[in-house]
Amino acid sequence: MVFITVELVRKSAEHHDRELAPLEEIALHQKNIEKIEYLQDWCPKLKILLLQSNLIAKIENLNKLKYLNYLNLAMNNIEVIENLDRCESLQKLDLTLNFIGNIVSVESLVNIYNLETLYLTGNPCVDYDNYRHFVVGTLPQLTSLDGHDIERSERIQALQNLPHIRSDILFEQENYRHLRRKQKTRLDQNISEKWEKVYKDMDPDERNKKFWSEKCEHAPEVRYEMERMRQMKLQAESEDKNDEKPRELKLFAPDGRPYNLNQAKIDFTFSDWDPDQYTLDLAVYKYMDTSLVDVDVQSNYVRATIKEKIFQLHLPEEVDTVNSKAQRSQTTGHLVITMPKAKAIARKLEMEKEMYNELRFDKKEIKKCEEFTRNSQRQSKREFLEIGPEPADVLDFTSMTKPRDTYKQINLRTKLTVKKPSPDFVDDPEVPDLI
How far is it, in rounded angstroms, from Cα 264 to Cα 310?
6
CA 330 to chain centre: 21
In the sheet with 268-271, reading across from the earlier edge strand, the strands are 268-271, 277-282, 335-340, 325-328
Per-residue pLDDT of the chain (435 residues; tens, 9 = 90+): 678 888 888 887 766 677 788 888 999 988 889 999 999 999 999 999 999 999 999 999 999 999 999 999 999 999 999 999 999 999 999 999 999 999 999 999 999 999 999 999 999 999 999 999 999 999 999 999 999 999 999 999 999 999 999 999 999 999 999 999 999 999 888 888 888 777 777 777 888 888 888 888 888 988 888 888 888 888 877 776 666 566 677 888 888 888 898 988 889 999 888 888 889 999 998 888 888 899 999 988 999 998 888 999 998 888 888 888 999 988 888 999 998 888 776 666 667 676 766 666 666 667 767 776 676 666 555 554 444 454 544 555 555 555 554 444 444 444 445 567 777 777 777 777 765
Among candidate residues 295, 283, 292, 296, the one with its CA nearest the CA of residue 329: 283
C-alpha R_g of the chain: 55
pLDDT score of 345: 66
Phi/psi of residue 310, each to 5°? -95, 135
How far is it, in rounded angstroms, from Cα 358 to Cα 207?
85
How far is it, in rounded angstroms, from Cα 294 to Cα 188?
62
User: Helices 131-138 and 162-193: crossing angle, nearest 10°?
Assistant: 120
Phi/psi of residue 326, each to 5°? -130, 120
Consecutive H or E run containing 227:
helix 220-243
Residues in Cβ contact with 356 at an 8 Å cutoff, skipping those fewer than 6 apart: none
Q: What burial class does residue 58 get, using C-beta atoms within 10 Å of its C-beta: 0-12 exposed, 13-18 middle, 19+ buried?
A: middle
CA dist 198 to 222, 225, 233, 237, 276, Å? 17, 14, 17, 21, 71
DSSP string for residues in 363-381: HHHHHHHHHHHHHHHHHHH
pLDDT score of 418: 59
Query: What CATH superfamily classification does 6-176 receive?
Result: Ribonuclease Inhibitor (3.80.10.10)
**Would you say the CATH fold of 261-340 matches that of 6-176?**
no
Q: Would you call 37 helix, strand, or coil by DSSP?
A: coil
Q: Would you call 384 helix, strand, or coil by DSSP?
A: coil
Alpha helices by DSSP H, 79-219: 131-138, 152-160, 162-193, 204-213
pLDDT score of 386: 46
Cβ atoms 118, 105 nearer than 8 A:
no
pLDDT score of 288: 86
Q: What share of the chain is helix, strand, coil (3-state, %, to 5)?
A: 40, 15, 45
Phi/psi of residue 408, each to 5°? -65, -25
How far is it, in rounded angstroms, from Cα 52 to Cα 46?
16
Among candidate residues 31, 81, 83, 25, the one with its CA nearest the CA of residue 52: 31
Cβ atoms 259, 250 nearer than 8 A:
yes
pLDDT score of 214: 84
- Alpha carbons within 13 A on the beta-carbon side of 68: 25
Please tell me what DSSP assigns to residue 126: G
pLDDT score of 207: 82
The CATH topology of domain 261-340 is Immunoglobulin-like (2.60.40)
Domains of the chain, by residue range, sit at: 6-176, 261-340
* Number of residues that make up the chain: 435
Pairing verdict, β 25-27 and 309-314: unpaired
